[in-house]
Amino acid sequence: MKVLVLGGQGMLGSDLVPIIGQHHEVVAPAMDEFDITNREMVRDKIMASPPSVVVNCAAYTQVDKAETDCEAAFAVNAFGAQNLAIACAEAGSALCYVSTDYIFDGTRRMSTPYDCAGPVNVYGMSKLAGERMIQWAMSRFYIIRTSWLYGWHGRNFVEAILERAAGSDDLRVVYDQVGAPTWSVSLSNAIARLIETDAYGIYHYTDDAGDGVSWYDFAVEILAQAGIAKNIRPVTTPEFPRPARRPANSTLDCTLIEMLGIRRDDWKHSLKRYIEGRKN
Ligand SMILES: NC(=O)c1ccc[n+]([C@@H]2O[C@H](COP(=O)([O-])OP(=O)(O)OC[C@H]3O[C@@H](n4cnc5c(N)ncnc54)[C@H](OP(=O)(O)O)[C@@H]3O)[C@@H](O)[C@H]2O)c1
């Protein structure tokens, strides 16, 4: 089948494009050729050559900046998604939208796709708005929510910790926010499998971190696997203030996607493969 990937140059998209390309024809235009905020461009491009599936990895992902840049976040994450959904509905293409744990308020553990959303920051609100726009405009959609993503092709927590560990700075990491670290290659494999089904709906995919780990646990494991001996000081969220509020518990129940036969990778195993891969 023909698959159009948007945001194909981003962290997730860079891993996803070659993985889908193993079995399908994949097209991944750069942002200047395909800007999802441009409704006319989106419609023209999709109608000119309708793909079987559009996978949207294009997003406004700067969580803290979004607090003061609300319009830009909504333009991409909400109205960009709406533009794609309207065009896909007209062209008869399915749409896969990558969403986030940040649509939840973090007061529950293991949120299911049926749980009520309640974002606590602008980024989460804009992504939830994108999910809703899609559901209002079309029916053949896959919404796949994930969390704590890291990959070889973007700024991420693993790189930030390794960078800070290499410097002389004191390493302080919060221990009171819990989630599931997810390697972009694991998520890409799951998306590639999901879009081959006609099981449209809302799914969660994260690497398997049991009941979840804290950012502190994640940082300790990163240094252990990288063979770096350096102390990390666990701190609370109020000791490490950020412009955007974060949900305290970001863990997602992934049963629904597992019921499709899509297996999840163990988070420590994924991290090992990521660290080995970056050495090469
Ligand atoms: N990173 C995480 O921890 C995380 C967690 C949960 C969910 N997610 C979701 O996972 C998806 C992928 O995230 P990511 O980390 O791979 O993001 P990313 O590295 O920031 O990539 C996003 C891509 O979208 C492109 N883009 C931005 N605005 C666009 C527009 N108007 N039209 C077309 N392309 C546009 C960006 O291009 P430029 O680089 O040129 O701006 C970039 O290539 C997103 O939907 C995100 O919300 C991420």
Q: What is the pLDDT of residues 8-17, one digit of tens each?
A: 999 999 999 9
**Would the pLDDT of 120 be above 90?**
yes
pLDDT at 119: 98
Distance 229 CA to ligand 1 centre (A): 33
pLDDT at 260: 98
pTM (predicted TM-score): 0.97
- Measured from the CB, is residue 37 less than 6 Å from ligand 1? yes
2-151+182-207+251-266 CATH, one of 1.20.1740.10, 3.20.20.140, 3.90.245.10, 3.40.50.720: 3.40.50.720
How sure is the predictor about 167, in pLDDT bands with cuts at 50, 70 and 90? confident
pLDDT at 194: 98
Distance 60 CA to ligand 1 centre (A): 6
**Would the pLDDT of 170 be above 90?**
no
**Would the pLDDT of 279 be above 90?**
no
Mean pLDDT of the chain: 97
- Measured from the CB, is residue 182 less than 6 Å from ligand 1? no
3-state secondary structure the chain: CEEEEECCCCHHHHHHHHHHHCCCEEECCCCCCCCCCCHHHHHHHHHHCCCCEEEECCCCCCHHHHCCCHHHHHHHHHHHHHHHHHHHHHHCCEEEEEEEHHHCCCCCCCECCCCCCCCCCHHHHHHHHHHHHHHHHCCCEEEEEECCEECCCCCCHHHHHHHHHHCCCCCEEECCCEECCEEHHHHHHHHHHHCCCCCCEEEECCCECCCCEEHHHHHHHHHHHHCCCCCCEEECHHHCCCCCCCCCECCECCHHHHCCCCCCCEHHHHHHHHHHHHHC
Probe target for ligand 1 pocket from 46, 61, 76, 147, with the most ligand atoms within 8 Å of CB: 61
Residue 123 annotated to the active site: yes
Distance 56 CA to ligand 1 centre (A): 9
| Mean pLDDT confidence for 155-184 | 94
Probe target for ligand 1 pocket from 6, 9, 12, 131, with the most ligand atoms within 8 Å of CB: 12
- Measured from the CB, is residue 6 less than 6 Å from ligand 1? yes
What does the pLDDT look like over 75-106, one tens digit per residue? 999 999 999 999 999 999 999 999 999 999 99
The residue from 60, 97, 123, 203 that is catalytic is 123
| Mean pLDDT confidence for 54-63 | 98
Domain boundaries, the chain: 2-151+182-207+251-266
What does the pLDDT look like over 195-232, one tens digit per residue? 999 999 999 999 999 999 999 999 999 999 999 999 99
